Amino acid sequence: MTTSKGNLFEPTLVTDLIDKVKGRSSLALLSGQKPVQFNGQKEFTFTMDNDIDIVAENGKKTEGGVSLAPVTIVPLKVEYGARVSDEFMYASDEEKIDILRSFNDGYAKKLARGLDLMVFHGINPRTKEASTIIGDNSLDKKVTQTVEFNEKDPDKNIEDAVKLVQGSDNLITGMAIDSQFSSALAQMRDGNNNRLFPTLAWGANPGSINGLQTDINNTVSAGSDDYAILGDFTNMFQWGFSKQIPMDVIQYGDPDNSGKDLKGYNQVYLRSETYLGWGIMDGASFARVIKPTTEG
C-alpha cells in the first residue's frame, strides 16, 4: 500500500503500537486498557455503603444503600512528527513499510512515556510544564495520601503507604517506583548481611516485589517529588486509545514550524496523532512516596 496524506495506521500497526506501549509504560502495564470513545465517556464507581443485614422471621428490612460516582473520560490529542528524506516517496512499498514500522516503534516509546508523564504528573511530555488541558486529572493532584521517602528504610515507606490505602478499605494491585527507590530497596540487608530484595540487585526490573506487581520506571519521578506510587490500578484507573490513529505524510510547507521548507530541503514530514483518555476513579485508592520536606 502506498502511504499518502490522510491514511490511517494499518490495523496491524495499531495493534503492534498498543502492545508496545503496554510493554513500556508503567501505567499500561499495571492497569487495563480499553478503547475510548472519541467524544468521551462516563464511568461509574458503584459502592455498597453497608454490610449485609440479618433479618429475623417477620423482621423489618433496612436499606443498605449504594453510592454512584461518575468519572468522565475525555480523550485528548497527542502528536509526534519527524522529517525524513523525500526518497521515502520514491521507495518501494516494502521499504516504505519498513520506515513506517520504525516510526511506529519509536512512536510507541514516546506514547508510553508520554502516558506516564501525563497521568502521573499532569505535564505536557514535550515541554515538561503543567498542562492546563489535563488540569487536575493526574495522580499527583488527585492522590493526597503521601509518605515521605526514607532512603535508609524504603521498605517501611511502602508498608506505611499500604496502610494508608488499606485504611480506606481499598485494594493494592500494583506499584510503580523510581530507580532511586528500587536502588534503596536493593541495598537493604538483614542481620546476616543478606539482601532483603535480591531480585532488585544490579538495577533489575523483576516485575514483582513480594508478590506485588511492580514496574521500575524513571517516569515516576520525572522532575516531580514522587519516588513511588501504589494502589488499585486494576479497578480504580482506566485508560485507552480511541480506535483510529491517523498517519500523515506531508510533502509541502513547514509543518513543524522550524523555518525550513520541506521542498527546499528535499524532505517529507511523517506525523501521527493519537487520542488518549484516562480516568482516576478514586484518589483514596492510591498513595505516593514523595521527596522529604526540607527542614530549615
- Cβ 96 vs Cβ 104: under 8 Å: no
Q: Is residue 1 over pLDDT 50?
A: no
Minimum mean pLDDT range among 16-25, 212-221, 244-253: 16-25
Q: Please give the Cα distance from 292 to 149 (Å, whole number).
A: 6
Q: Residue 208 — very low, low, confident or very high, per pLDDT cuts 50/70/90?
A: very high
Looking up cell 514550524 gives 257
* Mean pLDDT of the 4-25 span: 73
pLDDT tens digit sequence for 144-155: 999 999 999 999
First to last CA, the chain: 65
Q: Please give the Cα distance from 127 to 218 (Å, whole number).
A: 17
Average model confidence (pLDDT) across the chain: 85
- Cβ 247 vs Cβ 8: under 8 Å: yes
pTM of the model: 0.84
For a pLDDT cut of 90, what percent of the chain falls above it? 54
C-alpha cell at 120: 502521573
Q: What is the CATH number of domain 11-46+69-290?
A: 3.90.1690
Q: Residue 69 — very low, low, confident or very high, per pLDDT cuts 50/70/90?
A: low
Q: Please give the Cα distance from 214 to 26 (Å, whole number).
A: 8
Q: Please give the Cα distance from 34 to 238 (Å, whole number).
A: 8
Q: Please give the Cα distance from 277 to 284 (Å, whole number).
A: 21
pLDDT tens digit sequence for 86-138: 888 888 877 887 888 888 888 889 999 999 999 999 999 999 999 999 999 99
- Phi, psi angles (nearest 5°) of residue 214: -140, 140
pLDDT tens digit sequence for 225-262: 999 999 999 989 988 887 678 888 899 999 999 999 99
Q: Please give the Cα distance from 21 to 9 (Å, whole number).
A: 15
